[in-house]
Structure 1
Amino acid sequence: MTQAERPERRAFFDLWGPYALLAVGVVTAGGSAHAVGMTPAAIRVAGALVVVSLLLQLFWGRAAREWSGPNRTSTTLYFVRWALGFGLTWLNPFFAFYAVTGYYSAARQLTRRLMLTGLFLTALTMAGSEIGGMPPRGLLWWLGFGVVFGANLGLVALFNRFNVQEQEQARTQAEVIAELGRTNAALQRALDENAALHAQLLVQAREAGVADERRRLAAEIHDTIAQGLTGIIAQLQVVANAPDLAVARTHLERASTLARHSLGEARRSVHNLAPVALADDGLPQALKKTVAEWGERTGIRAEFTVTGTHEQLHDEVSATLLRIAQEALSNASRHARAARVGVTLSFMGDEVTLDVRDDGRGFDPLAVPARTGTGGFGLDGMRARAERIAGSLAVESEPGHGTALSARVPLVRHAP
């Protein structure tokens, strides 16, 4: 039975149950009238009391629709019905079927202060019926009445305890329902706030994405086009001072190659693709070519070494390490005044390390102004690239003792 069905069935029994119990009492009392020694006068009085009980029950059914709990009217009607039930039971013990209604209706029709009184009187009526009728005849009957009355009082105490527990449970359920209502309201407010916050986060994420894309394009232009243009300018300067036509033609070809390479990098940067050097080769081959071309272009001795077991890296990891190497070599040619540069790519278990060392004039890393959050280039750009793929960049340098740069990134394999 559900919680909603219980009040409906109880209301149905409150309305029609007393009629049914009174009918059972009339039938059983009528059949036993001779056996219990009812006189004609007692039968007429019992009939009158039955009629009054019916009228009372009709009035009760109408009045009960107007109240939702114990009040003065319900208390008066309860004790009037008890008096009718007691009188009928005195005349014939079988009318106790009707008097028993006092047990289950006391909690809903009497205040808590009068409930025990109502139950006590109902127990008195039931005890008189159970010993064969009131009043007891003789000492033995009075002793039996006392025992039966005590048993009924025990039942009253038990029923009252059950009733108190039921009321407490109902009160607790009401509090839980009220608390659930408050919780649901708070949850709805939280959902509304989360929806607003989600919309705000989407706007911020969109703005952050635009800013990140701008920084990416700026870094790509710096690492590719700007470096390529620098190389072209250097080659053209050599052409301008070339002693003969063959030397000039050689440097013009190098400038043309750099121009084509920079154009390809520009197109790929716009489409966020891998660097040109990685289009056909893996990272070790791309680094080897990059170091060799840089050394030939700058005239600086450059060496490239691979250690560990070669792994096919994810495109983003390969592109990041290649860009860091290109920027490190560019810095070495522009600032270090180095005579020798070494580049090492190491595969070490779950990470990849790129080391770039030169024997140039070095610098004080603490004296280099940080441009955190500006999206700058040089060391800041290399560090940002490494951190973007959960890596790190370390720089060791000292004036007059060269520079060592080490980029460590997770080894993420190329997706098949």
Structure 2
Amino acid sequence: MTTTVEERWDQLHRWGPYGLLALATAIGAAAAHFFMTRPEMYVAGGLVVATLALQVWWGAPEPDHTARMQMYFAVRTVLAGALTWLNPLFSISIFAVVGYFDAGRLLPARRARLGLLATAVTMAGAQSGGLPPVTPLHWALFGALLVLNVCLALVFAHLGDKEAERTAERAATIAELERANARLEQAFAENAGLHAQLLVQAREAGVADERRRLAAEIHDTIAQGLTGIIAQLQVVTAAPDPRLARVHLERATALARHSLGEARRSVQNLSPAALEHDTLPDALHKTVTDWSERTGVTARFTVTGTEEPLHDEVAATLLRIAEEALANTARHAHASRAGVTLSYMGDEVTLDVRDDGHGFGPAALPPRSGTGGFGLDGMRARAARIAGTVSVESEPGGGTAVSARVPLVPHD
């Protein structure tokens, strides 16, 4: 398993002091007769045992600035000074050398510099030949070495501050990443719920839209066809001439066949049969002609502008609007004349259906059809599906005009 830099530093802080203490004790013992009397040797041995006990008791402290850590660092510094006082070779012990590395770990920021200064004094005393200095030269050497060690202490303090800043930045970055991850998880959960909700709404909207489409298609095909069949059969009932009755029976039969075919095409969501082989102007012309023959109302179809092939949906929408508008004229207007105009106007197409019937006031719209009310509302809904509009103008005794405006979308 790969060891990280942090783990290596932790191992050094845990086991390094034992190795340094053993090395310092061995060197100090080898040169003890040069620096210490026999009683001082016994005192130094006791201090070494005390330092070992302190290190075993302490173990590997974690770098949180508690009172226990500060006490540990203070006792260790006192022991380091005492050992150095007895034998300068003990300056390489853990209490003198490691103090540079541990001050920032074990002490608060304000006291870390004092700990570094105490370590510098101990190191300078050992390097100048022992404490206390005796001669003026000894004092001068001690001062110079103290300045050097203080500079080293300042360097270590600066490095410690930088390391603390990096640690704080890493901790802040990790905390921010954790918060960001939490927000992302929450957003993912919300998005999953929203996605599921949108799927349900899309299915419901699709079902509702398909129901509206089928209802409008049934109204525009079966309902209108049945109305025409009833009208033809009523004429047959009242017709004294058998030949005339036969003509209306044939018309009723043709209407029934046509309505059946349109109903099948509506269920399969196909274009109207009139547009299967004809363009929109031709289909409208036939629709107006057939309507005029069935109702006996004089009707005229006109095309203005330059004719262009239209997208199937646009053509089907305008044809259905024309059929519904003519059906409304036959049912409600009691008109004698009607006109249908298809106009190509650049980027849009307009369809106008006019009659000279009774008309109605703005507050009295014609009654909705018995099939569920898909008259004007149905026309507006059809136009809206292709970004178009339907407007109605009428007044009592002044006839009615229905105008549909849709974008001119060319055939693929």
Q: What are the Cα deviations for residues 206-245 of structure 1, in whole angstroms up to 9, with x where unaligned?
A: 3343333332222112111111111112222222333533
Give 2:300's match in structure 1, choosing from 272, 293, 303.
303
- Note the residue ranges of structure 1 that are not aligned, 5 or more in a row: none
The answer for the alignment partner of 1:380 in structure 2 is: 377
Amino acid at match of 1:209: G
Q: Distance in 1 between matches of 2:303 and 2:276?
A: 20
The answer for the alignment partner of 1:81 in structure 2 is: 76
The question of whether the paired residues in 2 share the 8 Å contact of 1:60 and 1:77 is answered with no
Q: Which moved more, 1:251-260 or 1:211-220?
A: 211-220
Q: Distance in 2 between matches of 1:108 and 1:383?
A: 79
- Residues 339 and 161 of structure 1: is their aligned pair in 2 closer, same or farther, counting only changes over 3 Å? farther
Amino acid at match of 1:7: E
1:9-408 superposed matches below 5 A: 9-19=8-18, 21=20, 40-42=34-36, 53=48, 56=51, 60=55, 63-65=58-60, 69-71=64-66, 73-87=68-82, 91-92=87-88, 95-96=91-92, 98=94, 99-112=96-109, 114-128=111-125, 134-136=131-133, 139=136, 142=139, 145-146=142-143, 148-150=145-147, 152-171=149-168, 173-178=170-175, 180-182=177-179, 184-185=181-182, 187-368=184-365, 376-408=373-405
The question of whether the paired residues in 2 share the 8 Å contact of 1:365 and 1:395 is answered with no
TM-score (norm 1): 0.80
Q: What are the Cα deviations for residues 154-187 of structure 1, in whole angstroms up to 9, with x where unaligned?
A: 5434533543454354345445544544554455
The question of whether the paired residues in 1 share the 8 Å contact of 2:133 and 2:142 is answered with yes
Q: Post-superposition, which runs of at least 4 consecutive aligned residues in structure 1 deviate over 6 A?
A: 23-31, 43-48
- Residues 88 and 55 of structure 1: is their aligned pair in 2 closer, same or farther, counting only changes over 3 Å? closer
Structure 1 position 409, deviation (Å): 2.2
Structure 1 position 319, deviation (Å): 1.8
* Equivalent residue pairs, number: 406
The question of whether the paired residues in 2 share the 8 Å contact of 1:313 and 1:414 is answered with yes
The question of whether the paired residues in 2 share the 8 Å contact of 1:215 and 1:375 is answered with no
Structure 1 position 68, deviation (Å): 6.5
The question of whether the paired residues in 1 share the 8 Å contact of 2:14 and 2:60 is answered with no
- 2:310 aligned counterpart, secondary structure: coil
Supply the RMSD in Å over aligned alpha carbons: 3.9
Identical pairs, percent: 57
- Residues 398 and 233 of structure 1: is their aligned pair in 2 closer, same or farther, counting only changes over 3 Å? same
Q: Distance in 2 between matches of 1:43 and 1:347?
A: 121
Q: Distance in 1 between matches of 2:56 and 2:358?
A: 108
Amino acid at match of 1:380: D
